[in-house]
Structure 1
Amino acid sequence: MIRRIWWVLLGGGIVTLGLVNLTLHLVPLTYDVTASVVLLPPITSVEANGNPFLDLGGLDVVAGVLATAITDSESTENVAPAGSGASYTVQKDASVSGSVLQVAVTDTSPDAAFSTLDAVLTLAKDRLEELQVSVSAPAEDHVQLMVITNNVIAEPNTSSLIRTLIIVLAAGLAATVALAVAVYYPLRRRDSLSDETIDAPVGAERVPADLDESAEPAGPPASTETGDTATRVPVRR
């Protein structure tokens, strides 16, 4: 019985390893790349020979509007269509005080990640210009967008792959243990029944007490009397 259980465990382990290997081929490794952009005030709001970085106050609202404008469903579908494996986010950089946005892109290869990042940055510049033109803002009062960090190395992202591997491995091991338990108990019951059959005497028959001459009479013998002579007749019960 133990040997059969070990075969079940071995088979389940082999199947689980096969599923893990299949997962490694089916679930693609993704790559992340990020960039940071800052919104600069209009030229007219900066003093002559002034530094625009010293006058970034009040642009947080513009940064929030821009982030919302380039992450709507239409923009997302144009830059990272469904099924392409690409995705991106644009949000305010909480580590920096001011109108700084962080763009994060995930794609299926380093080249694809950089291509998607370029598309998002281009969209951000074009959309910022469109928003200001739509409100008839003078060209000299337009807020400008400037890329301040642009990573040149795409970092591999294994989180999705690791989560999938953990799920597959846990499911395979659980199924293997459940199958082993399902096989163990029927085999154990069958072996127990076999042991009881072997211990019982073969061909033994029970002889009724009334046919067993060696059995002691259950009660005192009955007697019959004829005249002065009494004859004891054993009574079978």
Structure 2
Amino acid sequence: MDLFEIVRAAGRRWYVLVAGLILTGGLVMAVLRIIPLTYDVQSSVLLLPPRQTASANGPVTDGGNPFLNLGGLDVVAGVLSKSLMDSASVESIVPKGSHAEYTVEPDPSVSGSVLAVTASDRTPAGAFSTLDSVLALTTTRLKALQDEVNATGGSQVRLMVITDNTVAEPNTSALVRTLIVVVAAGLVITALLAISVDALLRRRKTRKAARLAAREAAEEDSAASAVPDARAPSGKRASPGRTARPAKPATSGKRRRPAEPAVSTTADVAREPVVAEPVEAEAAATEPRFDFDDFDDAVDDSVELSDDVARDDDDADLVADRR
């Protein structure tokens, strides 16, 4: 089936298309209510080296901070981001039943010890509240980690917020992806349903036309076979197994006993043409019907039998008189 036939089939079943589009619109409205719009707010945090340094001619010393011996501030940024994303930290910032979310990870767009903090919620106020909580926990968590390794105050790594957005941006990516899937699925299913309904109705119409043609042909055959045989006498219908009655011989003067009819042999019966019973209409064949032609034939046979009996009695009286 090419594109033109698909369009024609869909056009013939336009009511299926309308119903499918209405259902698709209802699904879109349901998605808008189920998947609400969220708002995102982002901030960037820079990790700074400790204040304690050596003289101008010497290198920067670690001041007894073990984190600085691991490979620089990038390692400290990675450790801090992992610490802020554990389950205890998440539960302390996002209470149960809240729709807020946040992420803390190294900023891939900047080469250095920069953390990207992102908070989201269904309202801008909720997103800003979550971001403030994450930033406060970041400062507290960094100090707690350095205190655990006995880093002195002058050798501890510091934080500085370098970007702090004041406008929460709506995040429509998840909503748009869901809407695309729903609309595409609705349109495809609607088109397939319209094509299937069109094919089903056309096949049913073809079968109905074939049955109607077969019924008309059967009625024509029945009407043609119901025509009386031309060889049968007018006014009487030929009956199966009934042959023409031989003419009575003419008698001159004295009445004579009629000759016995010849008994037909098996060969004569085989050569005798069998007149097929006309095919009546189906409704008439199932209902009993009184046949006036058969009744007339039976009456004629009775009258002729009575005449034969009377002639036999007359012949017997004549023979008795002669004796």
Task: Report the TM range for the smaller structure's normalisation.
Answer: 0.7 to 0.9
Higher deviation after alignment, 122-131 or 24-33:
24-33
> Does residue 18 of the first structure (1) align with residue 35 of the second (2)?
no
Structure 1 Cα separation of the partners of residues 122 and 173 of structure 2: 13
1:71: Cα distance to partner?
1.0
Q: How does 1:43-122 map to 2 (within 5 A)?
A: 43-45=51-53, 58-81=72-95, 83-122=97-136
Aligned partner (choices 14, 31, 34) of residue 39 of structure 2: 31
Question: 2:221 maps to what in 1?
Answer: 205
- Aligned residue number for residue 183 of structure 2: 169
Q: Which has the higher strand share?
A: 1
3-state DSSP class of the match of 2:52? helix
Q: Residues 69 and 199 of structure 1: is their aligned pair in 2 closer, same or farther, counting only changes over 3 Å?
A: same
The structure, 1 or 2, with the larger RCO (C-alpha pairs under 8 Å, 6+ apart) is 1
- Where 1:91 maps in the other structure, the secondary structure is strand
- TM-score with structure 2 length normalisation? 0.57
CA deviation string 1:110-146 (max 9, x = no partner)? 1111111101101100100110111122222221111
Aligned counterparts of 1:183 and 1:160: Cα–Cα separation in 2: 35
Change (3 A) 1:95 1:190: closer
Which residue in 2 is equivalent to 1:148?
162
Which one of the candidate residues 195, 201, 212 is aligned to 1:187?
201
Secondary structure of the residue that 1:204 maps to in structure 2?
helix
After TM superposition, the score normalised by the length of structure 1 is 0.76
Shift of 1:85: 2.3
Listed as ranges, the gaps of 5+ residues in structure 1 are 214-233
Structure 1 ranges of 4+ moved more than 4 A: 1-4
Corresponding position of 2:174: 160
Structure number with higher helix proportion: 2
CA shift for structure 1 position 185 = 2.5
For 1:22, the aligned partner's letter is: A
Letter in 1 for 2:176: I
Higher alpha-carbon deviation: 191-200 or 118-127: 191-200
Using the alignment, how far apart are the partners of 1:137 and 1:2 within structure 2? 75
Amino acid at match of 2:29: N
- Aligned equivalents of 2:107, 2:11: Cα separation in 1: 61
What is the match of residue 141 of structure 2?
Answer: 127
> Cα offset for 1:199?
3.4
The structure having more radius of gyration, on CA atoms, is 2
Cα offset for 1:98?
A: 2.1
Deviation at 1:2, TM superposition (A): 7.9
CA RMSD of aligned residues (A): 3.1
Q: How far has the Cα of 1:167 moved from its partner?
A: 1.6
Q: What corresponds to 1:228 in structure 2?
A: none
Structure 2 residue 5 is matched with structure 1 residue 5: no
- The structural deviation recorded for 1:29 is 0.7
- Once the two structures are superposed, residues 50-69 of structure 1 have per-residue CA deviations (whole angstroms, 9 ceiling, x without a partner) of xx9xxx99211111111111
Task: For 2:97 and 2:190, locate their aligned partners in 1 and report how far apart those are by CA, in whole Å.
Answer: 34
> Residue by residue, what CA displacement relative to the aligned partner does 1:16-44 show, whole Å, maximum 9, x if unpaired?
11111221222111111111111112221
Distance 1:145 1:176, change over 3 A: same
Q: Distance in 1 between matches of 2:120 and 2:151?
A: 35
